[in-house]
Structures are given as structure tokens and as C-alpha cells.
């Protein structure tokens, strides 16, 4: 009759578990495989972009980062991340010249985004860019 020690049985079981763990197939991911989409947004008074550090980070996978993140991300998704392709809203803006410059930098689904545009006033900014640069207010 063969006698096996407890240590030998444990070592054998441990080796079998290690082999099984290495041979197990990798788990499928349950999330999306698209790269993260994020933009660092700034709005500055005048005709030049803000040079100071800061701004608002809009993240879209899932939407978060500023007050209207869900709306901004939906508008960007409909425009394939191109701010210039966001449909303009049909609004009446005052004929007041108080320029504001909007700047966005980041990535949209893995593609780099760099956007700067100066608008005659904040009403025109909101009409042309929707919720993306709606960083203040309700």
C-alpha cells in the first residue's frame, strides 16, 4: 500500500489549480470598446483664447464633468464629435458686440479634437455650440 503525505497532496492540488487558471479562457469585457471621449473646454472674454490653466473637463463615457454633460455629449455624438457640425439653434440674439472665444481640446472616440472660435457674444456662442460650452448657469 502506498502512503502519500498531506504536503504532497496539497502541492499537487495547488499545481493543478495553477494549470487550470492559466488554461482558462479570458473573460469577455462587458463595456464598450470605443476609446474615451473627453474635451477640456474654456470660454474667455475677448478675441483670444484663455491662456490660464483650468477649464471644464467634459467626459462622455459616461457623461460627466459639467452641468449639461448629458446634453453636450448627445449633441457631440450626433455631430460625430465635430463642434462645427452641431446644428445652430434658431434664436434671436442682441446685436451687441461683446466677443467671447470658445476653445476645446481633447479626443472624440480616439480622434484628436482642437477647436477655437470667437463669437460676437455669448448668445451666438450658445446658438452655434448648443450645450457644449454652456459652462455657467442652470
- Domain-by-domain residue ranges, the chain? 38-129
Strand partners, 100: 45, 119
Neighbours of 56 (CB within 10 A): 17
Domain 38-129, CATH number (from 3.30.350.10, 3.40.50.1820, 3.40.50.2000, 3.30.1780.10): 3.30.350.10
What mean pLDDT value characterizes the chain?
80
Does pTM surpass 0.85?
no
Backbone angles phi, psi at 111, to 5 degrees: -100, 135
User: Is residue 52 very low, low, confident or very high in pLDDT (cuts 50, 70, 90)?
Assistant: low
C-alpha cell at 98: 461683446
User: Is residue 112 very low, low, confident or very high in pLDDT (cuts 50, 70, 90)?
Assistant: very high
Beta strands, E only, the chain? 38-45, 56-60, 63-64, 100-108, 111-119
Amino acid at each position: 500500500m502506498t502512503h502519500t503525505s498531506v504536503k504532497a497532496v496539497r502541492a499537487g492540488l495547488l499545481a493543478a489549480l495553477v494549470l487550470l487558471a492559466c488554461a482558462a479562457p479570458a473573460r469577455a469585457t462587458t463595456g464598450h470598446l470605443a476609446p474615451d471621449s473627453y474635451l477640456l473646454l474654456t470660454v474667455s472674454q475677448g478675441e483670444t483664447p484663455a491662456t490660464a490653466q483650468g477649464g471644464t473637463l467634459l467626459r462622455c463615457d459616461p457623461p460627466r464633468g459639467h452641468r449639461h454633460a448629458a446634453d453636450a455629449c448627445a449633441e457631440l455624438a450626433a455631430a460625430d464629435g465635430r463642434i462645427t457640425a452641431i446644428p445652430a439653434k434658431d434664436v434671436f440674439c442682441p446685436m451687441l458686440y461683446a466677443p467671447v472665444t470658445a476653445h476645446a481640446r481633447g479626443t472624440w472616440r480616439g480622434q484628436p479634437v482642437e477647436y477655437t472660435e470667437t463669437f460676437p457674444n455669448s448668445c451666438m456662442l450658445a446658438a452655434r455650440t448648443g450645450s457644449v460650452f454652456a459652462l455657467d448657469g442652470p
